[in-house]
Amino acid sequence: MSRTAKAVSTRSWEGASLAHLEGGRGIEGEGGDPIAFDVEAVREEFPGLHQEVHGHPLVYLDNAATTQKPRAVIEAVTRFYEHDTSNIHRGVHTLAERATATYEGARRTVARTLGIEPREVVFTRGTTEAINLVARSFVRPRLSPGDEVIVTWLEHHANIVPWQIVCGEAGATVRAVPIDDRGVLDLDALAEALERGGKRVRMLAVGHISNAVGTVHPVRRIVELAHAHGVPVTVDGAQAVPHMPVDVAALGCDFYAFSGHKAYGPSGIGALWGRAEHLESMPPMQGGGDMIRSVSFDGTTFADPPTRFEAGTPNIEGTAGLAAALDFLDGLDRAAVQAHEEALAAHAVEELAAIPGVHLVGTAPERAAIVSFVVDGIHAHDVGTILDARGVAIRAGHHCAQPAMRRFGVAATARASFALYNTHHEVEALAAAVRHAQEMFGA
């Protein structure tokens, strides 16, 4: 039994539909009892959690920005450096073969995680590069003046700016679908935008989960609406993969991107899934070594996907860490993890809402373990600084989602985002630190 296997209940999770995964609702085991989750056993796997900051035990609540790393990931990267350092695909010596096996094995692990074929997995530096690849290689060749790309008001800048760049080059337009005061996407407005745009709409891009306020979009319904008009869909899954099982076939989208560092893996590595027929139609975004079939001064022919999109020496050690992170998650009862994180978020909402002068931003009924808030009379950056002095790490700012902040009428929020290793005691430490900030400002 692995070290992580004993951290959760072995009870089966039967009858859980994708709607539960998308909707973020609590999961119960057989007979309606909560599924057990041993958070203390899990915390032992994360060395970074066991330290003090400014004389206080670290309370790490900045997981939507990046997560701490389990020993399995640290050891996988270290093991590669110590024993298998070499380049991939081109060598015939033993270390080169080991490095290649590590790299291609990680591709199979990503494929298993998303329920896809390995040939549909493109390694990238992360979600941002993956979306840029789709924008540059799939959408740009199809764009003409007057065409449109549809996004939502809740998108991360990485799911706005790449579309703006290619649309600006082509004389096309990026259109944003509105959200309501809770942070819920207006599906009627989306349907209207698709109907109005017709064949001019070349892509619909949507985040699975909002990094700013935690809204979980009904991706499957969104895809159905888009495909009814022949519009492909790109999903930013950076916040979803760490929190819920993802089955891209069930979602029905055309592209799905995620980052390793938000899912307990290393920075600088991520993946793009694309339908095989789409990838085969796309030119490479970069040229260089290993992405070619043949090169001469008369011209170059490119390799088949996914190699076509992986020019140069890749982040091989990063793929080792990414595979270890996904294996770590796969070794846990994901339903129990999800229920634990939802309970933490609900506890945080209850604690913060009970503090006079604290206002939650984004109150969608379907939400992940992300809680954004503002405090009367205290700038979000000051909230973050004061909390850090008490060892509580949160994010403060616009969260690379300035349009969403403007929609909510704020310049910035304080954001607490939870992971599988957080505890209810840490939620209470968050609330106590916010009260302390109010006392310091006389609020």
Residues with catalytic annotation?
Answer: 400
| CA–CA gap between residue 234 and residue 158 (Å, rounded) | 12
Q: What are phi and psi of 288, to 5 degrees?
A: 160, -155
- Contact yes or no for 129/312 (Cβ under 8 A): no
C-alpha of 426 from chain center: 23
Q: What are phi and psi of 41, to 5 degrees?
A: -65, -40
- Contact yes or no for 336/8 (Cβ under 8 A): yes
Q: Strands 255-259 and 201-207, how do they pair?
A: unpaired
**Alpha-carbon distances of 155 from 62, 126, 212, 401, rounded to whole Å:** 19, 16, 9, 6
- Contact yes or no for 339/21 (Cβ under 8 A): no
Q: List the structure tokens of 312.
A: 């140069």
- Contact yes or no for 343/421 (Cβ under 8 A): no
| CA–CA gap between residue 115 and residue 117 (Å, rounded) | 7
**Alpha-carbon distances of 51 from 116, 389, 426, rounded to whole Å:** 39, 14, 14
Calculate ∠ Cα 178-190-196, nearest 5°: 115
